[in-house]
Amino acid sequence: PATRDEWPDADTDPDAHQLVEAAFEQMLRTNQGGFIVPVNHRDGHRVWVAANFNHVEDPNTGQQIMVGTMRDVTAEHYVVQRQTALAALNQQLAQADTVDDALRGAAQEMRRVWRAQRVLVVTFASADDTAAPEVICAGEPSAWGRLPPRERQRIESLRTAELLTTAAQEPGSAGIALRHARGVSVLWVELAEQRPFTAEDHTLLTVLAGRLGQGLQRVHEMDEQRETAVALQHAMLGPESLPGGFAVRYHPASRPLQVGGDWYDVVNLDAGRVALIVGDCVGHGLAAATVMGQLRSACRALLLEKSSPSAVLAGLDRFAARLPGADCTTAFCAVLTMSTGDVVYSSAGHPPAIIVHAAGATEMLESGQGFPLTIRADRARPEAHITMPARSTLLLYTDGLVERRGDAIEDGMARAADLVGSGRSRELDDVADDLMSRLEPTGGYPDDVAILLYRQPAPLTMDFSADVRHLAPSRVALRTWLTEAGVEPDQIQDMLVATGEAVANAIEHGHRSKPEIGRAH
């Protein structure tokens, strides 16, 4: 600057003021150095200044003096800032699974670039849509209706403006609109200080918005592909509705399509029997999911024809031998008689199922173990039998749940058994959620995970006073127990009617003179 009046003014920017103070402290403590600070010019625009200094001795007086230079590096700063911001935005877009994820990541990155108070992404379904838009906030959260009317008006004016044209009618904020598959989004930046947006700020905002628009198209296409893949995956995984007493969870490790080669299945057979299957194909992603779907369908067909789990796995051996990519698939197949708790099972190289008894004791189903599919397919498949006591819980799972790099798989199995045991008095869905969350390693599961839980119901015994106010709770308890026991809905209704009539009669006629404790079984 030519005169002192034209110098940048750090006092108008608290952050810059602190940077300048820190820089001068550095100058006093060291013999030489340099620093770059942002300051606001007296006309309001932002300037970046580089200062370099040296402590030297005055040859005339012998005193220590400081010699320094100051240089305007605003242009160089914005070049570096643009490159850094684009690289960070590209990373955000690469990690995004959905359009909302991409918009949220972009808002956070723009807030960091400008050290803004808040960045809003306001998405209108169309240029003339009258419905309230969706708002994504980086910084102080706010809904559309809570924004000041003046700010809403300025944002709405951009939705019909020429796309990728920035607007900053007042100091301290600016916006730009871009179109994508979800509609028109307005990016609105609110600075922490009331300074005008410079030409460099407008250029950077335009560049970032243009790159975001390109990235959103890719994210939208991937999102549609993933939704299709997930729908197919769930269609291949197992039944949409499960009998009472079951809970399942599935978590694919592959990005971005979120599909994998692990599967579970629950198949209703005859005579009150249910088949339980958990399997794990080699590999991840779409290729493994394709193999998984064919193996699961073949397994279902075999279950309807074969009488035992070992025969099913033997038939699956022959099918897998003719299916590319199916080598070394592991599977655990069991047939459960729900009324008695009898379980007949066979394993093709799969981690053993776990039974946790009502008292907390743990039992690994390590018998009936054979090779993975297609390995020694000429050998007979072994089979084992166990009876589940009342209130015991059975866990079938794939190795992604328990296998961790550097740890023995037995340690992971023990942790899973402990979690099932600690939740044996809780709802089965809560136990499944707890397993998936508590066993998940930092950074997420590195492998696909499928789990299947079953709890053997206990005989229903209820003690209650001979009073009509207990009729409704007893019906609810009986309905829940019958559902968990796998009784058909029509039969449940018949039993509720008959039992309700019997209990009502007992309350009304059985204890007229001396109310006693009624007992229902």
3-state secondary structure of 250: strand
Comparing CA positions, the residue from 316, 305, 241 lying closest to residue 277 is 316
Query: Residue ranges of the alpha helices (H) in 238-345?
Result: 285-303, 309-320
Give the count of alpha carbons within 13 A of 62, CB side only: 0
| Tokens 């008689």 sit on residue | 337
Give the pLDDT confidence score for residue 118 in this predicted structure: 93
Distance separating alpha carbons of residues 301 and 303, to the nearest angstrom? 5
CA angle 508, 510, 515 (to 5 degrees): 85
CB 492 within 8 A of CB 479: yes
The residue type found at 340 is: T
Lookup: tokens for 239: 């039944």
Give the pLDDT confidence score for residue 28 in this predicted structure: 64
C-alpha distance from residue 437 to each of 255, 450, 518 (Å): 19, 13, 43
Distance separating alpha carbons of residues 393 and 354, to the nearest angstrom? 8
Q: Which residues contact 315 (CB under 8 A, 6 or more apart)?
A: 298, 302, 305, 306
Give the pLDDT confidence score for residue 2 in this predicted structure: 35
Comparing CA positions, the residue from 305, 391, 382 lying closest to residue 356 is 391
Q: Give pLDDT < 50 ranges for the chain.
A: 1-13, 517-521
Beta strand pairing status for 342-348 and 369-370? parallel
Phi, psi of 41 (to 5 degrees): -65, 160
CB 358 within 8 A of CB 326: no
The residue type found at 144 is: W
Comparing CA positions, the residue from 37, 189, 23, 215 lying closest to residue 113 is 189
CB 12 within 8 A of CB 38: no
Beta strand pairing status for 462-465 and 517-520? antiparallel
Distance separating alpha carbons of residues 237 and 120, to the nearest angstrom? 40
Question: How many angstroms separate the most distant Cα atoms in the chain?
Answer: 122
End-to-end CA distance of the chain: 95
CB 367 within 8 A of CB 349: no
CA angle 408, 296, 284 (to 5 degrees): 50
Q: Which residues contact 388 (CB under 8 A, 6 or more apart)?
A: 336, 341, 342, 343, 355, 394, 456
DSSP annotation of 350:
P
Beta strand pairing status for 246-251 and 183-190? unpaired
3-state secondary structure of 230: helix
User: What kind and span of H or E run contains 190?
Assistant: strand 183-190
3-state secondary structure of 134: strand
3-state secondary structure of 70: strand
Distance separating alpha carbons of residues 279 and 260, to the nearest angstrom? 11
Residues in the chain, total: 521
The residue type found at 83 is: Q
Give the count of alpha carbons within 13 A of 233, CB side only: 26
In terms of Cβ atoms closer than 10 Å to its own Cβ (0-12, 13-18, 19+), residue 301 is middle
Distance separating alpha carbons of residues 23 and 17, to the nearest angstrom? 10
Strand partners, 64: 57
User: What kind and span of H or E run contains 491?
Assistant: helix 489-509
Distance separating alpha carbons of residues 322 and 300, to the nearest angstrom? 17
User: What kind and span of H or E run contains 204?
Assistant: helix 199-237
Distance separating alpha carbons of residues 331 and 309, to the nearest angstrom? 11
Comparing CA positions, the residue from 314, 252, 251 lying closest to residue 283 is 252
Give the pLDDT confidence score for residue 236 in this predicted structure: 64
The residue type found at 118 is: R
Tell me, yes or no, if the pTM score tops 0.85: no
Q: How many CB atoms within 10 Å of residue 464? A: 17
CB 313 within 8 A of CB 348: yes
CB 264 within 8 A of CB 301: no
